[in-house]
Each structure stands twice: as structure tokens, then as C-alpha cells.
Structure 1
Amino acid sequence: MTSVTPRPAGTLVVPAPRRASDLEQVPGPPRRSSWWASPGGSAVLGLLAATALTAVAVRGLGDDSYISLDYARTLVEHRQWGLVPGRGANTATSPLNVWLLALGLGVTGTVTGAVWGVLAAAFAVVGAGMSRIGRAIGASPLLPAVSLALLATSPLLASAVGLETYLGVAVVVAVAVAALEDRPVLVGVGCGLAVLVRPDYVVPVAVVVLLLLRARSPLAWLRRTATVAIVAGTVALPWHLWAWFELGGFVPDTFSFKTNPAAGHVPSLIAMFDSLYWSRTPVAVVVVGVLVLAGWTVALGAVAIGLRRAPRAALGAPSSPAAVIVAFAASGTAHIVALMVINAYPQAWYYGPLVAGCTLATAVVLEMRSHRAVLTGVAVYCVIAGLVAGQGGVPWRAADMNSNFTDAATYLAIGRDVSAVVGSAPVASPGEIGALAWGCRCDIVDQFSARGNARPLLDHRYDLGGPLSRAVLRLNARHRPDVPAPVPAYKLRYVRGDDPMPSEVVRTWWAISPQTGLPFRIVLVAAS
């Protein structure tokens, strides 16, 4: 274990190196440690963490996770890109997640196998990557284990199992490793994969590259970043060009669904956070917020130390602990700021890069010295976070920070019943479609599955934009097919409280809101 002495009291709020200058220095060759702390052993720890998280979370997947699974199943069974067979769509935000889920479905034939496969790959990369980062900066061999434990027990991150959030964390870690190890081609590959995870993930990896990519001169740095950009484009552009011509959009249609420039400059990610999360899951928000605040604190402390000791090189060498700490915290912060600028709708997983980046920054500082009190504190925090994330019982029926109207099991059962009634006739979704479509295997339609239904939303987003925004949207929609909206024979509707029952009711089901515990009805009506 690398021995690093503590820094002056009061500099940071969590344990850190003994001297401020330790954050700026590049450590010498790492000492030999146990096999489980090696990259291979840490990857195995990642597999174990993914197995445990899958076991408790797979029954409580969010509806958007099932949208990704629907795309994956359609790809495997019908070789089509769409949520339901026979209807092309461009609403899968993460093509890489869909491809990996499709691989898992093809190999295992089960939701559990597909979700575990993606999560296991992501956690293995995070474990191995944090091991390599720890060796580069002289951190404790426990860094990978601590990082995995904090990430796996986060109520917010765990609520996004089945989505691309953990994949994004893995790519950020991989880019950081490649940058620290001076491999610009691999950095470019990682950046290209980040865009395939989600287009907006270009922001966190760009910050990591900016802070960690080495160069002896500004000109050399420009050459290296050019290499990164060319390789990243080679990886990501083929898919986006294909989507532009074949699916009708260089970026997914969900960009238009979930951004609102008319909201002004009061970011909806903040303005709507209270009603969606703080008022419903305050304990989970506090648990997650602790690590976000800790990450910001240690990053600001690292910058302050660098400015005090070396104003011209505030972060020290790229492989210094300070640079890594700031890179992780800044990557997530820059991402959330970018989403605020475009007024993205506050889905829980949109905060994923921020939470993960600050969590990893905190883990690095904690493990600059392996102290029994630190490890005890981490263990206690993880237990509390895990209990909060799974307070509805284990395995979860619904994740704690899940804002869906009801849980997946209810939707899946209703979907199977609907299939028996509607047969091959189109049926309109009630507002959430992922788990219903998975259970129904029928022609269920809304803006996520049918291009014709998406058209009004895309046009509305265009009308809200300014001159530059409209020019970009026009270019994006250059090859968009003009497909009429399907005419559903049936409609699913939510009926809450004292809402009047619609006419022509064919079937009624009771459901319970995971957030409020209140019952409501989902009804199937014949379309007039």
C-alpha cells in the first residue's frame, strides 16, 4: 500500500495527503499490492458489484429502461431499429446501450441476462480503470473497491439500471485512464464511444481530455487533440450519418421532446427538481447530495492549493491527484451546466454524470490514504445509501428515485392482458410505453414508437427555437420521412382520483403510484 502522509488540517473536508504539494506531484512507481487490487482483480470486483446490483434492481427497472430493451428486442428479432416491430423510430438516445442489450438478449434471451451483461461490462471497466488511475497517482489499492461501492449504492445511479448511465461512467473513466497513460488514439476511441452512449456525453469526456491529456507544448497538445477528434469522429460519425439518412435525424428525436428553449434561463433541471425528487424522495436526495457537495469541495480545494503554490500551473501535472480530482468533478459539473443551457427536462439519469463525477473525485481524495476511520465511514455511508435506494424492499419493485406512474411489474401484466384484447390492432399508450410494449408485444403507439406521432412535437420544438436553433433543426430534419400518424383502434388512459371514467371502456386495471402509494386506474377504451 502506498504511504501518503496527511495534509494540513482544514484544507479539505475529507482526508487527503499530508502536504499540499503532494496533490501536485507525480508519484513514483507504485508498490506491489494484492491481486484483487490489480486491474484484473478490480474488474472481478466490478463483476461482483454488477451481479449484486442486478439481483436487487432488475425487477424495478424504470420505464425508459424498458424502452431501450424494446429497441434491443426489435433489433434481435426483426433486424429493425424501432421500439415496436414494423415502425421505424429515432427515439433511442443511446445506440451503444441498445446494441449491448441486444447482444445480451441474443445470448441469454432474458431481461436479467441483458441488463447484467451491460452493467457487468461497465463496472468491470470502472474497476480496472480506477485501479490504473490509483497506481498512476499513488492512491490506496482500495480506490477501485471504494469507487465501485459508492457508485453501486447511489440511489440516483442505481435508479438508472438498464439505461446508459453506468456505461457513461465507464467511458469517462476509460478516457481518463487513456489520457493519463498518454494514449491519444485510445482517448479518441473513448470519446467516440461516449457520443454513442449519449450525444451529450461529449461534454464530460471533453473536460477530462482538456485536463488530463499530456503535451510538452501548446502545438503538441493541439496535434494530440486533433488526433483525438479524428479518431472519435471515425468511431461515432458512421452511426449518426446512417441515422440522419435512414431514421431522419442526426441526433435522436428525444432531443426535441425533452428540451424547451421557451423556458427561459431559469433551468428546468433546477426549477422542476423539487416537484419530481426533493418533495418525493428527500432522503435519497440528501444521500446523493452529500457526495456531490464533497466532490465540489475537494475539487475547489485542489484548485486552491495549486493556485497558492503554483499560479501558472494550478492543477500540477496531468497525472497528479489534483488534476484527476478536478477532472472528475468538473466533467459532471460541465455536463449538468450544458443541460441547463438547453433547458433539458429533469430526468433522474440526467444528473448521472454529475453524481458519478463527484463520487469518483471524493473516492480519490478518500483513498489518498487508506485509514481505518475512512474505510469505516465509507462502509457506513454505503449501507445507508443502499438501504435508502432499496427502502421498498429487496428485490426492488420500483427504484427509489423512479418517477414513473407505476411499477414495471404492473405495466408488464397489463401489457400481456392488452395483447389478448387488441391483437394486431394499434393501441395508443397512456403516456408511458416501455414496459407496456415489452409485455404486450403489440402495436402500441405514441411519439416514442411512431414517427407520425413524433412530428407535432418536432415541429413545436422548431417553432420555439431562434434563428440558429432553427437552422440546425432544419439540417437535422433534412431526411426526415413524412409518415402519417397511425390511427389507433384502442387507447390506454390513466384515471386518477375523482377523474370521470371515459366512455367505451373495454377493460380496467388498478395500479399504485410508487411515489405516493395512492391507487389509480388504467383503462383500455375503444377509439371513437
Structure 2
Amino acid sequence: MSTWSRRSALPLFGLLVGAALSLVASRGLIDDTYITLAYARNLAEHGHWGMTPGITSNAATSPLNVALLALGFLVVGPFAGADGELALGVVTTVLAGVAAGCAGYVARRAGISQWWAGAALVVVLANPLLVSALGLEVVLLFTAMTALLATAVAGRPLLYGVVAAFSLIARLDMVVFVVVLALACRGVRRRLHVAVGFCCLVALPWFAASWWWLGSAIPDTFVIKTNQRSFGEGRTYLRGLWTHYWPNTPVAVGVSVIGAAIGVLVLLVLLVNLVRVRDEVRSGLVALGVGGVLYFAVYSVLGVPPYQWYYVPPAASLSCVAVLGLGVLLRDRGRRVATFALSAAALGGLAAAVPPSALPLPWAYPPVFGNFATPTEYRAIGSEVGDLVGDQRVTAPGEIGTLAYACDCDIIDQFSDPAVLQPQIDARIADADPVLGKLLEWNYANRHVGPEPATPWVLRWQSALYPPPEGVRRWTTTAGTWQTKDVLVLFRAQ
């Protein structure tokens, strides 16, 4: 087999894995995914940055993910129309191929079989927390990690700076991985000014444009999520896996954390090993693992809610370290059977993570699912709501993404209307310490929000204690793994 054929095999494998993942999850996307898809569709069709057609907003956590999905809409549009699930499938497939190629480069630099990188790809993409948040920036962040690792190991500071810039636009908290990898790898560290310069050159225009036109350099989700306490007492990021997810989906949680747990052990061995043998690959893998640990620590200190996708960056980075690190540690012993064993374990883990209720494939909802209606139900309800309210505003019932995407109307909450969010921003600034408060004031200095217009329609979940007025339409829902049957009511505001 030629060198080109060997090097192209792994990206092709990545494309196949990404396509398979997209096919399995295409009809069972969580509600927050449709927030991103709504932003992307509006951008592709109208050049408009907002969740709903008539309101500009800045609550898309990952601007780069929105832009890539908008490009996906443009690619599939001539063939399938505005098919968000297909656009997502195209983007996921390409990102998986890129991640496989970057991981394969690291494996070649380490002198190990590229199929260690293939096993790492399967282990990460088989993680139930990741597959349960497909469409959010989870695959994009893993791809960014592998690209950062590859350019750092290659000692390419200019290219590293460009990748770092896109990583920050993908999600600002990727700064943890950007900084640790830059400092750990000699080739980037020696010309750090080049990496920093090109990172700023590429990233600053977006943040400046966001500050000027959208009223905030950072997404509004920083305020939304750090203020949120809806998961209940004690269910924060630090404890959320065990207090919130484990009681409901123990198998999925167990499969999700095992790769990261092995990664921590491999990271410790690599750290000890660095004393004796220091090279760029080992340094890069250690930095990637340390970045995952620091990421978890930062989010724990912030006390944010335990959304499943918040656990993906540390889980993905440490799982990648687990597989590639084992390959490096076992390289001199020639234990090729380990590659096959890891791949088989990864595939078995994916199969075990899929609950019987999610079959047949494609699943109706993912392994970790806590929405109040299934995606199919929400899409049907949203379509009817759009027909009923027309171009009038309607208040969201709590979960807004799938309804807004299917409705294609002005459905209102803090994610879609800056006027609704403004009181929370004011409260967050008032409650912040002096340094953070001043930073937030600067960030929102260009934000100009008028009074909230009247909203004539309301969507609300039926409550036995406080039932809504008699509605014009009611829908009974049967949610997924956690919720019970409930009733959603549409009625006129009083």
C-alpha cells in the first residue's frame, strides 16, 4: 500500500464513523441542538444572526458551530431543501474525518500504528454524553483538540495560532486547552509570539464584530448558564453525573466515564515517564490530559448546571489520552493485540450505552435524554403552533429549541429575545465581584435593548396546582427516559 493510501485510510474511516453516528442520531436530537440549528438556518437563509426570524440575539454558545451548520444548510439545500438533520450529518461527518486525520498524524509522529488513532476516535465518538448532545459543538470541540494537538506536536506555531483562534470561536472556554498545549510543546513555546499573534489576528475580528453588532463579545449563554439553578439543590457540575444522571441512566454514565478514568491513570504514567523520556508527543498528550482535568476543575468552581455536553471536553480529551497514551507506552513492547482489544471495547461500549427504548435505529431519543417531549412530538407541536400564531409572538414553555425550529416563528424566551434576558444581565453584573463586574460592564457597553414588546400567545405546561386558562390547543406528550406524560397548552395572554 502506498504512503498516500495509508495516510488517507484513517480520514476515510473517520468519515464513515461520522456518517454512521449521524444516521443513528438524526431523528433523536435533543432540544438544545435545535437552538443551534435554528440559528444556522436563519444565517443560511436570511443572513440573520438570531434564533427566530424577526429578532437578533446572541445566545448561540458556539458561533463557529453555527457558521459550519449554516454552510451545511447551503450545501444540502439544492438537493434536500432546508433539512437541518442532513446538514448536521454532513458537518459531523467532515469533522470526524478531520479529527481522524489529525489523530492519525499524532500517531505517526509517535511511531505507533495509526489505528490507535482510529480506536481513539471510536472511543470518543461512542461516548453516550457526546452522542446525546450531537449537533451542539461536541464533535467540533474534539476536532479542535486533535488539531491543536497535531499542530503543537508538529511544532507549527503559525498554524497552531490559527487553529487556536478557531477553537476559541468554537467555544471560548477552549482557552484552557489552547494555553496548556502551547506552553507544553517546545516547538510552539519557543515562538509563542507567532502563535499568539496569528490567534489574535484570526479571532479578534469575530469578537469585535460580535461586540459591535450583537452587543456582547461573548455569547449571552455565559449569563444564562451561570445564573441557572433549575436542576435543583446540589446538582451542579461537580456532582451532577452522580446526583442527576446516574440514578436515571447508570449504564450510560458508566460507559461515559470509563474512558476518562483510564485516561487519568495513563496521564499519571505519562507524567512519570516524561522524567525519563521527553518528546513532543508525550508532552502534547500530557498537556491534553491536564487540559481536560483543568477544564473540569474550572467548571466545578463556576458551579454551572450539569448539562451533559459540558462533560464532553474533559471526557473526550482524557479518553483520547487513554488510547493514544497507551499506544505510546506499549510501543516498545509491540503489543499490537491491544489495538484490536481497544477497538472492540469501544464498539461494545457504544452498543451497551444504547437503551432498549432507543431501538430500532435511528433512535427516537438519545441514551441521555431529559426533555419534556420527544423530538418527534416537539416537531409536530411546533409546526402546529406556527400555523396558529402566524407572525405573532408566543412565549416559550421552558424548552424552546425544537419548537422554535419547527415553528419558524417568534417564540420568546431568554435565548431568543435580548429584552427578556436583560434583567438577568443587570442582576449578574450587580452580584459579580468588582473585577468580573467591570469586565461584564465593558462586554455589554454596546448593548442597547428596548422594552419587551407585547406577546399575545403563551405556551405553558399543564399544572395540577396552577392550571393555565382554557387553551385553543392542547398536546399530550410522552417524554423519553425520565419524564412522564404531560400536557402542553397554547392560550391567549391575559
The TM-score bracket by the shorter chain reads over 0.9
Q: Cα gap change, 1:283/1:181 in structure 2, threshold over 3 Å: closer, same or farther?
A: same
Shift of 1:335: 1.5
SS in 2 for 1:60: coil
- CA distance in structure 1 between the partners assigned to 2:411 and 2:112 by the alignment: 52
Q: Give the deviation of 1:355 after TM superposition.
A: 0.7
Q: Does residue 387 of structure 2 align to residue 425 of structure 1?
A: no
Match of 2:28 among 42, 49, 60: 60
Aligned residue-pair number? 479
1:123-164 deviations in Å (ceiling 9; x for gaps) = 111111111101101112312221221122111111121111
Identify the match of residue 18 of structure 2 among 50, 57, 62.
Answer: 50
Matches of 2:355 and 2:64, distance apart in 1: 28
Matches within 5 A, 1:63-142: 63-109=31-77, 110-142=83-115
Matches of 1:111 and 1:262, distance apart in 2: 31
**Looking at CA atoms only, which structure, 1 or 2, has the larger radius of gyration?**
1
**2:354 match:** 389
Determine if contact 2:236/2:305 at 8 Å carries over to the other structure.
Answer: yes
Structure 2 residue 472 is matched with structure 1 residue 506: yes
Cα contact 1:325–1:362 (8 A) shared by 2:
no
Residue aligned with 1:524, SS: strand
Cross-structure match for 1:371 = 336
CA–CA distance in structure 1, aligned partners of residues 407 and 378 of structure 2: 9
Q: For residue 180 of structure 1, what is the amino acid of its counterpart?
A: V
User: Residue 344 of structure 1: CA displacement?
Assistant: 2.2
1:390 to partner: Cα distance: 5.3
Calculate the TM-score normalised by the size of structure 2.
Answer: 0.92
2:422 equivalent to 1:455: yes
What does residue 271 of structure 2 align with? Answer: 303
Q: Does 1:408 align with 2:375?
A: yes
2:144 maps to 1:175? no
CA distance in 2: counterparts of 1:379 and 1:435, whole angstroms: 35
SS at match of 1:214: helix
Residue by residue over 1:221-273, the C-alpha shift from the partner in whole angstroms, topping out at 9 and shown as x without a partner, is: 35x1121111111111111111101111010111011114999xx99212444
Aligned with 1:515 (options 473, 481, 485): 481
Report the AA paired with residue 293 of structure 2: T
* The 10-residue stretch of structure 1 (78-87 or 372-381) with the greater mean CA deviation from structure 2: 372-381
CA contact (8 A) 2:274 2:283 kept: no
More displaced 10-residue stretch of structure 1: 443-452 or 369-378:
369-378
Q: Does 1:352 align with 2:352?
A: no
Written as runs of structure 1 = structure 2, the 5 A alignment for 1:194-233 is 194-214=167-187, 221=189, 224-233=191-200
Sequence identity percentage: 33
What letter is aligned with 1:502? P
3-state SS, counterpart of residue 488 of structure 2? strand
**How far did residue 325 of structure 1 move?**
2.9
Partners of 2:370 and 2:479 in 1: CA distance: 9
**Kept in 2: contact 1:267–1:340 (CA 8 A):** no
Q: Could you tell me how far apart the structure 1 residues matched to 2:396 and 2:387 are? A: 16
The aligned residue for residue 332 of structure 1 is 292
State the alpha-carbon separation in 2 of the partners of residues 302 and 429 from structure 1.
49
Structure 1 residue aligned with 2:278: 316
Q: 1:362 aligns with which of 291, 315, 322?
A: 322
Q: Say whether 1:343 aligns with 2:339.
A: no
- Mark the CA change 1:425 to 1:299 in structure 2 (over 3 Å): closer, same or farther: same
Q: Where do 5+ consecutive residues of structure 2 fail to align?
A: 78-82
Question: What is the DSSP-based 3-state SS (H/G/I as helix, E as strand, rest coil) of the residue aligned with 2:248?
Answer: coil
Residues 322-331 or 516-525, more deviating: 322-331
TM-score, scaled to structure 1: 0.86
Do structure 1's residue 493 and structure 2's residue 472 form an aligned pair? no
| Residues in 2 aligned to 1:140 and 1:284: alpha-carbon distance in whole angstroms | 29
Query: 242-251 or 323-332: which moved more?
Result: 323-332
Q: Give, as a single letter, the amino acid of the residue that structure 2 aligns with 1:474.
A: E
From 410, 413, 425, give the equivalent of 1:443: 410
The residue type equivalent to 2:199 in the other structure is: A
1:526 is the counterpart of 2:488: no
Preserved contact between residue 260 and residue 314 of structure 2 (Cα < 8 Å): yes
Aligned to 2:27, what secondary structure does the other structure show?
Answer: helix
Distance in 2, matches of 1:422 and 1:431, equals 18
> For 2:116 and 2:339, how far apart are their aligned partners in 1?
12
Task: Flag the 1:398–1:139 CA change in 2: closer, same or farther, 3 A.
Answer: same
> Which residue of 1 is the match for residue 80 of structure 2?
none
Cα deviation, 1:62-92, whole Å, max 9, x if unaligned, reads 1111111100111122211100112110101
Distance in 2 (CA, whole Å) between partners of 1:359 and 1:236 is 28
Report the AA paired with residue 472 of structure 2: V
For 2:350, give the aligned amino acid: A
Which protein has the bigger helix share?
Answer: 2
Q: Quick one: which of 380, 387, 392 aligns to 2:345?
A: 380
**What displacement does 1:525 show?**
1.6
How far does residue 210 in structure 1 lie from its aligned partner after superposition? Answer: 1.8
The farther-off stretch of 364-373 and 139-148 is 364-373
**Cα 1:343–1:517 shift into 2, 3 Å:** closer
What CA deviation, in whole Å up to 9, does each residue of 1:263-284 have, x standing for no partner?
A: 9xx9921244434312221111
Rate the CA distance shift 1:455–1:242 in 2: closer, same or farther, 3 A. Answer: same
Q: Judge conservation of contact 1:262–1:464 (CA < 8 Å) in 2.
A: no
Contact persistence 1:276–1:403 (CA under 8 A): no
Amino acid at match of 1:501: P
